[in-house]
Each structure stands twice: as C-alpha cells, then as structure tokens.
Chain A
Amino acid sequence: MTEKSFYRQCCVFTVAIGLSFAVFAQTESAAAPSHSAAVEPVFSAPTDVPLPPAPLLSVPQPQVTSEPLQPQTSAASRAAGLSRDAQRTYEATRDKLVQIRTLLRATDTQSSIGSGFFVAKEGLIMTNFHVASQLALEPERYRGVYVAVSGAEGEVELLAFDVRNDLALLRVKSAVSLPVSEATPVSSDATVITQEVAQISQDQQAQQDPATLAMASQPMPQAQVVAHGVLQFREPSQPLAAGERIYSMGNPLDIGFAVTEGTYNGLVQRSFYPRIFFGGALNPGMSGGPALDDLGRVVGVNVSKRLDGDLLSFLIPAEFAINLLQRAATAEPITKPAHAEVAKQLLAHQEVLVQRFTQTPFKLQNHGAYRVPVLADALARCWGQERPARETSYDLDSTDCQMDSHLFVDQFNTGFVRLRYESYATTRLDPLRFSVLYSSSFKNESLMQRSNRHLSGVECSERFIESGGMPMRAVVCMNAYRKFSEIYDLVVLLATVNQPQRGILARLDVRGLSFENGLKVAEHYLAGFKWEAAP
C-alpha cells in the first residue's frame, strides 16, 4: 500500500465513521423504546373511551358517486320518509336557509362549507364559529359567501363570534332594506338584498308570488337580488319537552338543502356549556343550520355529532344565538385577523374551566394504599380498564377521564381537560425488572417536540417531589400558542417512586390555559395524590 492510498483510505474511513454515528443516532432516536419489545405501550388511549363530538364542518371532498344526489324538492323529502310537519316546516323556512362557503381569495376555490340562516332583516346570518373561523383569523386569505336555496349568491362579512358557544354572526355585504310590496311579501320581515343598489325590475315584481318570492332563481343582469325571510327564535321561557319533535336544517356535504327530523332529548349531561341533545342525524355541512320546532321557530343551532354512535347530535341552545345577535347586530365588520379577540374569549373560557376544576373536589380512587384523584362525575366521564395478573405477571388498572369542554379554534380543538392514570402492582417481578417495565410506560408519552403552525415546541420542568406522604417524579410540560398570546397547553406527568413493586403513572392534559392557571392546575392535580400506608 502506498502512502497516498493509505491517507486516502484514512479520509474515507473518517467520514464513514462519522456518518455511521450520525445514522446510528438518528435510528436510535426514531426507534421505539428498545428495552421492552414485549411490553405494550399501555399509556395509549383506551379504545372504548368516547370520542369528543366532531364539528359538522364540511371540507370539500371528492364526489362520492355511490349514492345519487338528493334533489331539493318536496318529493325528496317525502322519499326520505319525513312527516308532514317536517315537510311543512321545510317548505316554510327554506328561504331563510343559506349555505356558507369559505373561499380562498387567490383562487376563489372553496375551503370549507357549512350552513346558516337569516336572523334579521339587515341580512344578518347566524352560523357556527367553526364555519367562519377562517374569516376571523385569516381574512386576508379567505372570504365568505352565502348561497341561498334559490342558488343566488352573495358575499358576507363577519361581525362577531362566540368561541365558547361556537357561534358567529355574519352579514350580507351591501344589504339594503327595501319596502316590501303588497304582492310580494312572505312575511313582514322580508328583505330584498342586492349587491348593487338597484331597484327590482317591474317584470320581476310581477312574476313574484308568495310562494316563490324567496327563491329568485335568476340573477339580475346587473345586480344579484335575493329576497329572504327571517327565522324567529323560540322564547327561552318556553322550553321544549323531552321527546318533542324538532327539525334540523342545513346543506349536508354540499349535496343540497335538507331537513332532518329528530327529537329533543334535553341538555347533554356533563357538557361544559349547555348543549341540546338532538336525537337526529346531522351530517357535515349542516353546521350552523337551524333546528326548528313545530312552529318553525329556532330552538338551536347545529354544531356537532358523535362519531361513535348513531343519531347522537348536538345543538347550541337558541338563547346563546339570541345573545350574540343582540350584542353584535350593529357591530362593525371584522376585516383584520381577530386573534386577540379569540384569545380573550379563550382566556375567559379557561377561567371558568380552571375554577370548576380546582373547586370541584376530586373523587379519590383507591389502588392499594394509593389515593388517586379522578374528576368528579359531575364534571367528566371516566372509563376504566383492568388487566389482572393472571394474564400477565403484573396487575394493571387504568382510568381515563375527559371533560366535555372542547372548543374548536382554527382547525383544532382546545379548552378541554383529560386525565389518565395507570396503576401497576406485581408480586412476581423483582424491583429491578419492575422498574424497567414501569420506565418503559413512563417513557412512552407523546409530547410535541417541534413547533408547528399553531404551537411552539414543548418545554419541561421536572423534579422529585414529596406530596401526599410519598415521593414522586413530576414532570410539567407546556407549549405556547403561537397566534394566541398568553395561551398555553399543559401536560403533567407523574410517577410514584415510593414502592419497589407497585406504582402509579398519571398524565393530565389541559389545553388552552393561561400560564398562571396552568401551574395552578398542575399543583392542584399533583396535590391530589396520596399514600396512606398501613399504620
């Protein structure tokens, strides 16, 4: 071997060693925990924990060709087996219904669709906040349009929103209230809306009749003219009785306007904000549409459904829509990103959330001498699982609790509380082997390391702490919201380290908190664990 070839090989070798180390490390980082291939990642969510309600926002999907589109006629309603009341209600109110579309300004393609309904003669439309959230947060990129049953379209502007109750108030742009002629009105609240200030032609007025006034099928050559009615709200002092029929309306999956019949089942238990339990089928695209009683009065606004069940849908009680309407009917349109307002409403929500969390006593569950804090029944649903030692060499009990306080914001959910814990106990594994098992579960937690569009990367603080008569390993991690100032997500991890062959692993997730409240919640939660050794 010559000198030159030797040095050449040395250089190649150096680079090879360096790259090997780097590749090895990246492989190690990406690999699953290596020491416990046989141990299940037991900190994953139990499969039978109910999923949170899914908003009914419809994102444009490829056409499903397996089912024919439903025509927007009474015949279709009859074909669906609806009652006469439903048909009547639908016919009477369909002119007040609109589809809300969010379009990208640059390409004029739709980004999302939902439903809405006219609530005032000034062209005010009520819908969900999650339908109009892009108008609130990125008005420079998105614009909103409404599409009436007749097919006529117009642009809308956002006036106000209520994040906690998922409501938004829109207004048709350039809405003009014109006197209604004797031959034309459907109701005294009928309003003619035009995109340009122009009078309705005499020909059109002559052609209009009460039944068809709301459906101006052909746009005017120079101005889009749509006449519409206004839905009235049912008085909050006249509550519905359980079992009463209600009719939900909207435009599911952009197929066409439709009515869904169902029953009023009272308010959802353990819902953070009042929600009506609607025993009917809501589908994506119906978000923001009205739910009406027999007299065509609005009792609620479509908002979400359960994905793990049938006919489990939810409505926002009408009183919240009334409040928003009263508050914001004359508001100025929102033309700039409203992150500050959203943050303000989220902070208001988390104040209530934290107050309820800290002031409602925990329910303590017993696991041997451990006392583990669990959310009270009034606050949250909890589900449990058990795996006895006869199947494995250790006992494993787990519990998963979740507060139904989700808020939809900017395409993700926040504002909720979830806690899980696992109890391990063994007599067959020695302490060292148990510690390896215990560690593999403690390690197997997903946290957001890297920043994304919504959140910063996580930062953690950890220590051995003494609380409740035992030492524990506590980890407090938080992410900051990038666009909503002073809002954070909290994760608390805990592992008891007082017993060689048993222990509790716990995790608390709270989304959408102020920093101070985050630490307050963490401290309250950690203080809930107790060890009551035998005297």
Chain B
Amino acid sequence: MSQAEYNERTEPVLHENIDAQAAAIAPAIPEEVADLSERAPPSLLAPSASAVLGQLKVTDRNGHLVTSRSIWSWPITLGRALACDVVLDDATVAPAHLQINRSAEGGVQVKVLDTINGVALKRRKFRKDAEFDWPAAQELTLGRLRIALRLADDVLPAEQPEPRFSWWRALWTLLSVVLFFSSLAWASWISNAQNTEVAKQLPAMMMMALLFICIWTGLWALVTRMFTGTFQFGRHIQIATWTWLGIELLPRIGYAAAFAFSWEFLAQQMIHVVYVVLAWCIFKHVLCVVPQRRKTVLSVVLAGLLLGSGTWITTQWLETKRFSDALYMSTLMPPNWRVAPAVALPTFMQESQILKQRLDKRVQEAAKDEPSDVGEFEE
C-alpha cells in the first residue's frame, strides 16, 4: 500500500461516518455498553464517537504482553512503520505486515501485506498477498510476536473466582508426602534382615530424605517464583514425592514381572524405567516454571532422556559388548509369584549350547581389538 492510499484510508476512518460504520459493524453491542456510550460526555467519544470494536493483544512467545490496543474502526494495519494502526517494534515484522478487517458475514479477514516472514495461523503459513479467515480464539504469529483478537461482539466468559486455598490439593500433597515417607520406611524394612538395624537407620534416613526433598523442591520453588511470580511449593513437593515413589516402586514391579515370567531382558533394562521417571520429574518441574512452553520443554526433556539412555547403552556396548551391566536376572521373588514354567535340566543344557557361538564371536572381536590389554586377570 502506498502512503497516499494509506492516508486516504485512515483519514475517513478516523473522522467520518464513525457512527454509521459502528452501527453497521457492531450491531451486537450489549445494551448496557451502548447506553454507556450514549451517556458518556460527547468529548470522550470524539473523534471515534462510538464503542470499541475490538481489543488486539500482542504478546511475545513467552506469553508476555507487548502491547494491547483497542480497535475503533476497521480495517486496521499492523506493522513496524509508524503509520500503521498498531505499531509493532520487532525486527521480524515488516513495515506493513498485515491488515485485519471484518467481513460482511461478521467474520474477521486477514490480508498479508508485503512481508517475507508471512503470517502463521496454527501450523499454516500465509505468504505475501494471501488472504484468509481468522477463526475466533486463535492466535496469529507474526515473526516473533503473537496477536490475539477479542471482538466487541464476542461473548465474554464469566468472571472467574480468585484462586483460593484448595483443601483437596493440600490433602493430595499431604498424601504424597505420607506415601513418600512410608515407602522409605518400607524400603528400609524390607531391605534389612535385622529389625534392630531398621530401627537404628530409619530416623537418620528419614531426616536425610526430608532434607533432600526440602532442598530440591525449595530450589525449584525459587526458580518458579522468578518466572511466574508464585512459588508453587506444594506442586513441586508432589512432583518430587511421586517421582521417588515411581523410582522405588516401578523397578520392583518390573523385577517382579521379570521373575514371574522369566523375562531376563526386562530385568536387565530396568535402569531405563528409572530414567523415564526422572525425565517425567524434570518435565513436570520445568513446566511449573514455564507453563506456556509445554512443547519446547517436552522436546528438551525427551532429548535429554534419549541422550542419557543412549550414552549409557553406548558406554556399556563399548566396554562389554552388551547392552546391560547385568549378566543375569538376580532378583528372586517368593516362589508362588513364579508363573513361567520350569524346564527339564537336559532342555536347559541344550539351550546353553548357544554359548559357544557367542563366545567364539567374543574371542574374534577381542582379537580385532588387540593389543588392548584391559586389565589383570580378574577373579
């Protein structure tokens, strides 16, 4: 659009036929608003004279507000140039980036102007000179900015009550803490054959666990406060305690299943279950800090999980030419938990014939790695 065209467009919009245009475009203005506009002193209404047609909110990718503008007339242009209706001071926005208008049907139309970055609606990108309908309650992306539009004729959502103390949430947090300490006590009891040893070790173990939880969740709460303005301490406690429960219980369940069904491979790979639980923990904690970046946080955590698991597997392979540090399934459960059948001894010995092939292969691989002396003869 040229400057002359722009002037021709804006001047009449600002000063002429405001009432007519307002009446035509905003027929659904609630009565009380309309009354308000009639009751207001004329000076306040001039030069637009009638109600706001809409509200345009511009935010950055983190959800922080950049600017918020009231819309008095259509169409409006957005861009970096000062002549635009809404000036967006960002280098990724074109001088005249897009134009927003109401259609005859009452929808909102967007026309992409002279821009190389285009306009994105969800996953779809619109390039220069494209036109599209802007659905309600969805954001457009211009460069590094996002815009949301609320029309005057949109139905306002009901007022939300202020966040209050939730007894349910508190009970849930309390429950998770109780379960955490219970699992500590249970793990100590089940792992110690001597009751006196349990009694001796438990208080110190509880204190250490409490200290660890407080430090861990405290740090997260501080970080959350920095980013969101609230501590969310209870939420972090829930995440930490449930993580602990997951690390404690899930491997035990896995080992029990491995024993029951003689799934040796499962028993040898339980470390990855722990990794997944830790990844979930990090994800939940970070999501409290930056809730608006869910996908990014998830991607980062998954990448970290894959990197960690992959590094561990690779290290194992390089050192021992196997994918696990466990050579055999060593966790034994009460006999009546076993489901897998026991085979006859000759059958097992027949199956063990495969060892020769594997050993010969190891000897060949070790010969290729000569002269790497790994260490002394080990007992």
Interface, chain A (partner B; CB < 8 A): 1, 3, 6, 10, 13-22, 24-26, 28-29, 35-39, 392-394, 411-412, 426, 429, 431-440, 442-443, 445-467, 471-480, 482, 488, 493, 495, 497-500, 515, 519, 522-523, 526-527
Interface contact A453-B374, CB-CB below 8 Å: yes
Chain B interface, number of residues (Cβ within 8 angstroms): 82
> Nearest chain A CB to B273's CB is how many angstroms away?
12
What are 5 inter-chain pairs, A to B, with CB distance below 8 A?
A24-B274, A26-B315, A392-B194, A461-B355, A466-B344
Interface contact B328-A451, CB-CB below 8 Å: no
Apart from A3-B61, A435-B334, list 16 A-B contacts with CB within 8 A: A17-B307, A18-B308, A21-B275, A22-B307, A22-B311, A26-B315, A429-B193, A432-B334, A436-B191, A446-B379, A450-B374, A452-B378, A466-B344, A482-B366, A488-B359, A519-B353
What are the residues of chain B within 8 A of A426 when measuring CB–CB? 193
Taken together as a complex, chains A and B put the C-alpha atoms of A411 and B373 apart, in Å, by 15
> Nearest chain A CB to B264's CB is how many angstroms away?
6
Taken together as a complex, chains A and B put the C-alpha atoms of A199 and B317 apart, in Å, by 65
> Nearest chain A CB to B88's CB is how many angstroms away?
15
What are the residues of chain A within 8 A of B312 when measuring CB–CB? 21-22, 25-26
Identify which of A462, A478, A499 gathers the most chain B CB atoms within 10 Å of its CB.
Answer: A462
What are the residues of chain A within 8 A of B329 when measuring CB–CB? 462, 473
Give the residues from 326 to 351 in chain B that come closer than 8 angstroms, CB to CB, to chain A: 327-336, 338, 340-346, 348-349, 351
Taken together as a complex, chains A and B put the C-alpha atoms of A411 and B331 apart, in Å, by 36
Instruction: Check A36/B343 contact, CB under 8 A, given A14-B303, A450-B319, A500-B334.
Output: no
Taken together as a complex, chains A and B put the C-alpha atoms of A20 and B279 apart, in Å, by 11
Interface contact A459-B376, CB-CB below 8 Å: no
What are the residues of chain B within 8 A of A465 when measuring CB–CB? 342-345, 348
Closest to A473 in B: B332
B7: interface (CB < 8 Å): no
Interface contact A482-B305, CB-CB below 8 Å: no
Interface contact B62-A6, CB-CB below 8 Å: yes
Interface contact A526-B345, CB-CB below 8 Å: yes
What are the residues of chain B within 8 A of A466 when measuring CB–CB? 342-345
What are the residues of chain A within 8 A of B362 when measuring CB–CB? 451, 456-457, 459, 480
User: Looking at chain B's contact residues, is the secondary structure mostly helix, strand, loop, or mixed?
Assistant: helix
Taken together as a complex, chains A and B put the C-alpha atoms of A474 and B347 apart, in Å, by 12
Interface contact A461-B354, CB-CB below 8 Å: yes
What are the residues of chain A within 8 A of B103 when measuring CB–CB? none
Interface contact B275-A25, CB-CB below 8 Å: yes
Interface contact A462-B342, CB-CB below 8 Å: no
> Nearest chain B CB to A104's CB is how many angstroms away?
16
Instruction: Check A21/B308 contact, CB under 8 A, given A443-B331, A464-B343.
Output: yes
Taken together as a complex, chains A and B put the C-alpha atoms of A6 and B227 apart, in Å, by 12
Instruction: List 5 tightest A-B contacts by C-beta distance, closest first.
Output: A21-B308, A17-B304, A18-B307, A443-B330, A431-B334
> Nearest chain A CB to B85's CB is how many angstroms away?
25
User: Looking at chain A's contact residues, is the secondary structure mostly helix, strand, loop, or mixed?
Assistant: mixed
What are the residues of chain A within 8 A of B340 when measuring CB–CB? 464
Closest to A448 in B: B378
Instruction: Check A393/B308 contact, CB under 8 A, given A412-B377, A450-B374, A500-B335.
Output: no
B129: interface (CB < 8 Å): no
Interface contact A18-B193, CB-CB below 8 Å: no
Taken together as a complex, chains A and B put the C-alpha atoms of A17 and B306 apart, in Å, by 10
Closest to A458 in B: B327
Closest to A499 in B: B335
> Nearest chain A CB to B162's CB is how many angstroms away?
27
Identify which of A16, A437, A453, A482 gathers the most chain B CB atoms within 10 Å of its CB.
Answer: A453
Contact of B335 among A36, A442, A443, A498 (CB under 8 A): A498
B287: interface (CB < 8 Å): no
> Nearest chain A CB to B290's CB is how many angstroms away?
8
Instruction: Check A39/B328 contact, CB under 8 A, given A21-B304, A452-B378.
Output: no
What are the residues of chain B within 8 A of A443 when measuring CB–CB? 330-331
B228: interface (CB < 8 Å): no
Interface contact B327-A35, CB-CB below 8 Å: no
> Nearest chain B CB to A441's CB is how many angstroms away?
9
> Nearest chain B CB to A402's CB is how many angstroms away?
13
Taken together as a complex, chains A and B put the C-alpha atoms of A466 and B358 apart, in Å, by 26
Taken together as a complex, chains A and B put the C-alpha atoms of A65 and B355 apart, in Å, by 52
What are the residues of chain A within 8 A of B351 when measuring CB–CB? 461, 463
Interface contact A29-B325, CB-CB below 8 Å: yes
Instruction: Check A480/B360 contact, CB under 8 A, given A429-B193, A464-B342.
Output: yes
> Nearest chain A CB to B344's CB is how many angstroms away?
6
> Nearest chain B CB to A47's CB is how many angstroms away?
15
B17: interface (CB < 8 Å): no
Interface contact B308-A17, CB-CB below 8 Å: yes
Give the residues from 179 to 195 in chain B that come closer than 8 angstroms, CB to CB, to chain A: 187, 189-195
Contact of B373 among A14, A412, A452 (CB under 8 A): A452
Taken together as a complex, chains A and B put the C-alpha atoms of A476 and B307 apart, in Å, by 34
Interface contact B194-A38, CB-CB below 8 Å: yes
What are the residues of chain B within 8 A of A467 when measuring CB–CB? 344-345
B60: interface (CB < 8 Å): yes
Identify which of B328, B359, B363 gathers the most chain A CB atoms within 10 Å of its CB.
Answer: B328
What are the residues of chain A within 8 A of B278 when measuring CB–CB? 21, 24
> Nearest chain A CB to B240's CB is how many angstroms away?
15
Interface contact A3-B334, CB-CB below 8 Å: no
What are the residues of chain A within 8 A of B301 when measuring CB–CB? 17
Interface contact A392-B193, CB-CB below 8 Å: yes
Instruction: Check A17/B282 contact, CB under 8 A, given A25-B275, A497-B335.
Output: yes
What are the residues of chain A within 8 A of B38 when measuring CB–CB? none
Instruction: Check A38/B201 contact, CB under 8 A, given A14-B300, A482-B367.
Output: yes
B375: interface (CB < 8 Å): yes
Interface contact A497-B338, CB-CB below 8 Å: yes
B257: interface (CB < 8 Å): no
Interface contact B378-A38, CB-CB below 8 Å: no
Taken together as a complex, chains A and B put the C-alpha atoms of A519 and B187 apart, in Å, by 39
What are the residues of chain A within 8 A of B271 when measuring CB–CB? 25, 28
What are the residues of chain A within 8 A of B333 when measuring CB–CB? 432, 435
Taken together as a complex, chains A and B put the C-alpha atoms of A442 and B267 apart, in Å, by 14
Interface contact A10-B194, CB-CB below 8 Å: no
Interface contact B332-A497, CB-CB below 8 Å: yes
Taken together as a complex, chains A and B put the C-alpha atoms of A15 and B300 apart, in Å, by 9
What are the residues of chain A within 8 A of B19 when measuring CB–CB? none
Identify which of B189, B194, B336 gathers the most chain A CB atoms within 10 Å of its CB.
Answer: B194
> Nearest chain A CB to B127's CB is how many angstroms away?
23
What are the residues of chain B within 8 A of A495 when measuring CB–CB? 332
What are the residues of chain B within 8 A of A440 when measuring CB–CB? 191
Closest to A464 in B: B342
> Nearest chain B CB to A31's CB is how many angstroms away?
11
